[in-house]
Chains A and B, each alone.
Chain A
């Protein structure tokens, strides 16, 4: 019989599938005692399960390295520490060794004990960490179980569970699970954040569902509205098919845009470039018809390893990007490491009191001449294979640009003497992310060939607000009059001096902000390939002349609410067909 449930949407998308009902494991554990001869075996089983979870987390971290949002990295660190917690391990050891309990039951008791202590805390923030503790113990438990009677997801199934740990999601998707529904959780949980980046539909907080659904029943899930229908009737299925068709149509319309130019309604060409750091991103950028690579981050070559990559290795990496883009411009950024990024090469300073204001970007490069030299030599050698542009991060004064340019000139001569080919007139640009660089731009614009505004850092520095600090709430926002003014000024100065200006921060990738950026004068966007087509569609629906005429109103806006109203008024009508 048809049953309908209402939860919260956590990750957009719809699915129709068979229910795979997973009851919470604490319901399944009974008190189990073991004999003294079983102690070692039971401990071994427990440690294998813990090793398995550790490997699973490591795999997740590697898999997500490219897309890892800072908050996900932090939760992975936290979960790794919880997994190795000496008190947890001691408690388990004692329960098995001295009280002769099975590993499953020992884990169950520890979970009850620890979560009870967390739930008893006064502070809501600390209390909410119980979710992390519970997920880690739950993973160990699931891993213990799967050795006996656990099962994998099957293609066409929708997982229905009390909660799902982030670490499970990528594997569920690989097994063919098409959506996830949980009775607990919130759209702000780490699992929900991850589901969205995996494009896996998810509804959370669907109360009572587990008691009223049986394994194998058919259900539909709407990950946007949070609606779940078990045993859908003919009407539901028809509605589902219509929705499905609409979703597919929209996808197809987006795909058609791959070969379309990025041109506003009034015929102005806008440059749409891709940000990239992995070979995957480059392939996507090419397939989506990006005008080039607007920001190629070289950090990934350096992170996750213990020694600095040599010239030859770097040369090959840069050459391959240039070859892949087949003559379209590729902007490679000089290593932008800071104490906030966990490199293992030991390049960045440890324990800087204030990494955001520390030795990072071009400062680190200039402080480590050998590092800069190797990287620039590799780039210059690659320059013959395409159109290379070199981007300098964290510039704040003319002197920094001049010093790097002098090194580039010297290395060019050196390489030619060694018999290497080096392209003529390689363009050198500056990232504008430090307010000082934005304000003093007229003093050094003659020394650069192009500009790229890094809005993530620029906004953080302008507003003195750390974007990862939850306590600041909405203080970190690009929709602040100061941000809009600085963007307008930088773009205008660039245009007056004939220097192209791009934005390569997250702002550029949000189609809702496309009209605003056009109004501010922006003509080049550089963004992650994931939203490139959405932004192209938004730009094609914009009327540039009209938006520019609306700029004074935008600049007069005194606060975020007024800026949002402006955006609402100027939102382009996007043709869905």
Chain B
């Protein structure tokens, strides 16, 4: 299991488009992925779950990944956060 702390730094936060990008990215991995923020824990592969986190800009999020491809998966998620979800 890998745990990693990430910060939402993109302008709009984990809104619909960013959530969709995250879920689309995760669909390529077999591991279980959980996001924890503001005392709530959600399945990161669930678009509803991610949107219900309502993680605005500046929110700190704990990423928890468990499974065979956990290293690659957590790196990919961290990179997506760092790239601000490719918002221009």
Contact = CB atoms under 8 A, between A and B. Distances in A.
Interface in A51-76: 74
Interface in A456-479: 466, 469, 471
Interface in A115-143: 117-118, 121-123, 125-126, 129, 132-133
Contacts, number: 66
Contacts of A355: 86, 88
Contact of A85 (B11, B46, B83, B87): B46
A88 interface: yes
A114 B87 CA distance: 28
Contact of B88 (A85, A117, A351, A356): A356
A12 B85 CA distance: 37
B12 A471 contact: yes
Given A122-B54, A353-B86, A88 B16 contact: no
Interface in A126-180: 126, 129, 132-133
A81 B86 contact: no
B25 to A, nearest CB: 10
A197 to B, nearest CB: 21
B47 to A, nearest CB: 4
Given A126-B54, A351-B86, A88 B12 contact: no
Contact of A471 (B11, B20, B24, B88): B11
Nearest to A83: B47
B20 A121 contact: no
Nearest to A472: B11
B15 interface: yes
Interface string B41-81: 01101111101101010000000000000000000000100
Given A123-B54, A125-B15, A129-B16, A78 B47 contact: yes
A81 B11 contact: no
A87 interface: yes
Nearest to A81: B47
Nearest to A466: B88
* Max chain B Cβ within 10 angstroms of own Cβ: one of A78, A121, A132: A78
Contacts of A86: 43, 45-46
Contacts of B47: 78, 81-82, 85
B17 A88 contact: no
B51 A129 contact: yes
Contacts of B20: 74, 77-78, 81
Contacts of A78: 16-17, 20, 47
A88 B88 contact: no
B46 A88 contact: yes
A122 B56 CA distance: 11
A117 B53 CA distance: 11
B48 A123 contact: no
Interface of A: 74, 77-78, 81-82, 85-88, 114, 117-118, 121-123, 125-126, 129, 132-133, 351-357, 466, 469, 471
Given A87-B42, A351-B79, A354-B86, 19 more contacts: A74-B17, A74-B20, A77-B20, A77-B24, A78-B20, A85-B48, A86-B43, A86-B46, A87-B48, A88-B46, A121-B52, A125-B15, A126-B52, A129-B51, A351-B83, A353-B83, A355-B86, A357-B88, A469-B11
21 contacts: A74-B16, A77-B20, A78-B47, A81-B23, A81-B47, A85-B47, A85-B48, A86-B43, A86-B45, A86-B46, A87-B48, A117-B52, A126-B51, A126-B52, A126-B54, A353-B83, A354-B86, A356-B88, A466-B87, A466-B88, A471-B11
Interface of B: 11-12, 15-17, 20, 23-24, 42-43, 45-49, 51-52, 54, 56, 79, 83, 86-88
